């Protein structure tokens, strides 16, 4: 009976210490994790809104992180579009996406998948960039030169010149030549009614990832979720007088 009591006390103490350790770790890293998430989201804004100089939040201060809606302003002070965060349940994880649309609320300017944990080799292809390496370059160690693209395209992130912006959000000071994955690239210039899955290549729809139709549909739903948020906040209401 005495040994049983001792075991119970020891197990209780071990459990308490483990709980205390986990709680302490969470509290110590919570702030760092939140800053990293904010930096990731802010950087994504510059990807989905080409030509963005400064994002302006147009939602109320007490809005949750997942429901923020931003208005994009260029160097001339013109509105270039709106952006918001969307998410949807995929095959094995929540798919989280930043989406940018044009000022007329009609076309998608770009998307950026912030987080996903889908099946490796299938759903994860939504963030994979197609390799341009050839057998020759692999054998002889000669990688092909990057494609010469227009510097105005959204795959190339702008140089963050303003120190306060870099300091505030922890954004990279260097220019990042970031090629968009093929899956994300196909969302550009699509309209809301074109967000439909196609199992074969179709320029007017979203081509599904082979073997990952559920993940593809989830990504589309996340994009729709973001667009709905933007329209609910930023799109003017047409009042009908009867």
Q: Phi and psi for 11 in degrees, rounded to 5?
A: -65, -40
Give Cα 154 distance to the centre of its chain.
14
Each of the 242 residues of the chain gets a pLDDT tens digit; together they read 566 677 777 777 777 777 777 766 656 665 666 667 677 888 899 999 999 998 999 998 888 888 999 999 999 999 999 999 999 999 999 999 999 999 999 999 999 999 999 999 999 999 988 665 555 555 665 555 544 433 333 333 344 444 444 444 445 444 344 678 999 999 999 999 999 999 999 999 999 999 999 999 999 999 999 999 999 999 876 654 44
What pLDDT does 58 receive?
94
**Residue 109 φ/ψ region, left for φ over 0, alpha for ψ in the -120 to 50 degree band, beta for the rest:** alpha
Sign of CA dihedral 11, 12, 13, 18: positive
Q: In the chain, what is the straight-line distance between the N-terminal and C-terminal CA atoms, in Å?
A: 84
What pLDDT does 65 receive?
81
pTM: 0.70
Contact indicator for 206, 217 with CB cutoff of 8 Å: no
d(CA 227, CA 219): 13
Considering only CA atoms, which of 181, 67, 182, 47 is closest in space to residue 110?
A: 47
The domain locations on the chain are 29-234
What pLDDT does 155 receive?
32
165 is written with which tokens? 């912006």
What pLDDT does 176 receive?
44
d(CA 90, CA 88): 6
What pLDDT does 109 receive?
97
What pLDDT does 19 receive?
74
What pLDDT does 197 receive?
96
109 is written with which tokens? 């300017």
123 is written with which tokens? 């759903």
């Amino acid at each position: 009976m005495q040994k049983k009591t001792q075991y119970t006390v020891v197990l209780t103490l071990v459990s308490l210490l483990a709980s205390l350790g986990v709680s302490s770790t969470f509290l110590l890293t919570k702030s760092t994790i939140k800053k990293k998430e904010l930096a990731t989201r802010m950087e994504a804004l510059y990807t989905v809104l080409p030509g963005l100089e400064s994002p302006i939040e147009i939602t109320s201060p007490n809005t949750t992180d997942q429901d923020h809606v931003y208005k994009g302003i260029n160097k001339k002070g013109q509105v270039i579009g709106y952006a918001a965060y969307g998410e949807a349940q995929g095959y094995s994880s929540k798919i989280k996406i930043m989406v940018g649309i044009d000022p007329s609320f009609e076309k998608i300017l770009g998307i950026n998948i912030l987080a996903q944990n889908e099946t490796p080799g299938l759903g994860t292809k939504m963030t994979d960039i197609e390799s341009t390496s050839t057998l020759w370059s692999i054998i002889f160690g000669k990688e092909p030169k990057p494609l010469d693209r227009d510097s105005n395209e959204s795959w190339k992130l702008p140089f963050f010149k303003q120190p306060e912006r870099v300091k505030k959000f922890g954004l990279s000071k260097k220019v990042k030549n970031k090629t968009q994955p093929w899956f994300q690239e196909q969302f550009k210039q699509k309209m809301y009614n074109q967000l439909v899955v196609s199992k074969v290549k179709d320029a007017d729809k979203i081509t599904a990832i082979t073997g990952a139709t559920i993940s593809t549909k989830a990504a589309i739903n996340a994009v729709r979720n973001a667009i709905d948020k933007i329209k609910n906040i930023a799109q003017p209401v047409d009042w009908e007088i009867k």
